[in-house]
Structure 1
Amino acid sequence: MKKEKTWVKKVLLLGIILAAVLVYILVPPVNSSINRVMKMFASGDFDVVREFVASYGAYAALASFLLMIFQSVAAPLPAFLLTLANANLFGWWQGAILSWSSAMAGAAVCFFIARILGRDAAERLTSKAGIAQIDTFFEKYGRNTILICRLLPFISFDIVSYAAGLTSMSFGSFFLATGIGQLPATIVYSYVGGMLTGGAQLLMTGLLILFALSALVVMLRKIYMDRQSTRKGGEK
């Protein structure tokens, strides 16, 4: 029965993906819009992303939410640009809520894609090397991997979500760790994004570097404490 349910889920998900691909190929307006989105992310320009989201007017928040999910699936597009834009357009705390909730939704989608379709699909949507790197983290730190990786902005948010879906970790544990681990980065990006104008980009860069270094210190301390605990356990 379990295998049958898994098979049905796989067929349904593949059907949805196939339908989306056909719409992209056969419907010119959709094709044009997706290409525009890809160029927008690829630009790496905060102003371009902000103007793109703002162009949807009253539906800007919804557009941003869907864009966050899209970039999650199409890893590794830069999500932090959307987080900065959200804060700049909607205010830092409203933008933080929008970015955090949409990132959580995107993480859930990636998790279930990997869980239902398996490793081959996850590696094609991300990279074989990227998945292998996170596999190593899981081998060393187990469930703590999610929390550790979420605190490190230089580790791909989306690849971690896909890799988690390939493990035996429950979705509840994954979702909780993601929510807690993602919150500090979202708050920092949003606070900076809320005051980002022209010369403030230098300030943003400095703060992000500081945040990355702080997260690295937390991770290294965690690794050190785990090793010390293992050694003490071995001595006993």
Structure 2
Amino acid sequence: MRAKIRQRIKIIAKVLLIVAVPTVVSYVISGTNLIPAFSFDTEAIKSYLMATGYRAPLVYIVLQLLTIPLVPVPSVVLATAAGALFGFRAATLYTTIAWIIGTSINFYLTRFLGRPVLKKLLSLEELVMVDKFAGRIGWKLIFFTWFVPGGTADVAAYAAGLTQMTYGQYFSAAFPATVILSILTAAAGAAIYINPIFTTIFTVAAAVGIVLGFKMVLIYKLVTGLVEKIKRNYRTSS
């Protein structure tokens, strides 16, 4: 009986992933020109979001969701623009929500649909990275990949979904990392465009990170070293 219930839940989840999510995305961004939103120009992104009016927070979250599978679309640039438009607190909230939803979709995509679906979404190099990460998955890897550029956190989410890691374990590592990164990007945007006081917040946060995060830096280097090693091995084998 329980097996049948689980099977039905999986079917519902697949329907949501394949049908519902694209439908919502299409509705939110319908009638808009996405080119400015996916540029490296913070002002252009800010102007685009302002033009969407009251839908701006929802449009922003959807745009961030689109950056998850479309690396190297500049999600951090989007987050900085959000800090300029929405202010520090709102931007931190919206960005955290968007990034958690996006990588959670990645997690459940591979959890329910398996590795074959990744062949249609990722490059061969990224597939190799997913497999390597799956063999070393853990709290530290999930947490620190958020601070490695190039969509590494997205790849780690795919990898986590392929392992025995529960979503609760994944969330406990991903959530604090997204909050920290959201705070930094929102503070940067707010400091530049809204209120100089956020320059102080950004500076203090960075200083605290430097003073208290020596061990974190060492682990970060281990993670980035692993990423580079995987890439080198892939290039050598291909």
Provide the C-alpha distance between the structure 2 equivalents of 1:101 and 1:31, rounded to a whole number of angstroms: 16
Deviates more, 1:138-147 or 1:82-91: 138-147
| 2:113 equivalent among 117, 126, 131 | 117
Aligned 8 A contact 2:107 2:157 in 1 = yes
Structure 1 residue 134: Cα displacement: 3.9
Map 1:99-110 → 2, pairs under 5 A: 99-110=95-106
Structure 2 residue aligned with 1:230: none
Structure 2 residue aligned with 1:60: 56
Letter of the structure 2 residue corresponding to residue 72 of structure 1: I
Secondary structure, counterpart of 2:157 in structure 1: helix
Letter of the structure 2 residue corresponding to residue 50 of structure 1: K
Deviates more, 1:4-13 or 1:111-120: 4-13
Q: In 2 relative to 1, CA 5–78 (structure 1 residues): closer, same or farther, beyond 3 Å?
A: farther
CA displacement, residues 64-123 of structure 1 (integer Å, 9 cap, x when unaligned): 122222332444432112211211011123211211122111121221111111112133
Give % identity: 21
Give the number of equivalent residue pairs. Answer: 209
Gaps of 5+ in 2: 194-198, 225-238
Letter of the structure 2 residue corresponding to residue 167 of structure 1: T
Map 1:68-87 → 2, pairs under 5 A: 68-87=64-83
* 1:142 corresponds to 2:138: yes
| 1:127 equivalent among 123, 130, 134 | 123
Letter of the structure 1 residue corresponding to residue 161 of structure 2: G
Q: What is the TM-score with the length of structure 2 in the denominator?
A: 0.69
Q: In 2 relative to 1, CA 20–146 (structure 1 residues): closer, same or farther, beyond 3 Å?
A: same
Gaps of 5+ in 1: 198-202, 224-236
Q: In 2 relative to 1, CA 21–147 (structure 1 residues): closer, same or farther, beyond 3 Å?
A: closer
Aligned 8 A contact 1:71 1:79 in 2 = yes
Aligned 8 A contact 2:42 2:81 in 1 = yes
Secondary structure, counterpart of 1:152 in structure 2: coil
Q: In 2 relative to 1, CA 35–162 (structure 1 residues): closer, same or farther, beyond 3 Å?
A: farther
Deviates more, 1:63-72 or 1:10-19: 10-19
Letter of the structure 2 residue corresponding to residue 65 of structure 1: I
CA displacement, residues 22-67 of structure 1 (integer Å, 9 cap, x when unaligned): 979xxxx869848833x33542222222122111212211221222
Provide the C-alpha distance between the structure 1 equivalents of 2:167 and 2:38, rounded to a whole number of angstroms: 31
Letter of the structure 2 residue corresponding to residue 98 of structure 1: Y
CA displacement, residues 115-164 of structure 1 (integer Å, 9 cap, x when unaligned): 11111213322333213214324434634210121232345332222221
Structure 1 residue aligned with 2:181: 185
Q: In 2 relative to 1, CA 8–129 (structure 1 residues): closer, same or farther, beyond 3 Å?
A: farther
Structure 2 residue aligned with 1:220: 221
Structure 1 residue aligned with 2:235: none
Provide the C-alpha distance between the structure 2 equivalents of 1:21 and 1:174, rounded to a whole number of angstroms: 21
Structure 2 residue aligned with 1:161: 157
Q: In 2 relative to 1, CA 2–124 (structure 1 residues): closer, same or farther, beyond 3 Å?
A: farther
Provide the C-alpha distance between the structure 1 equivalents of 2:22 and 2:99, rounded to a whole number of angstroms: 26
Q: What is the TM-score with the length of structure 1 in the denominator?
A: 0.70
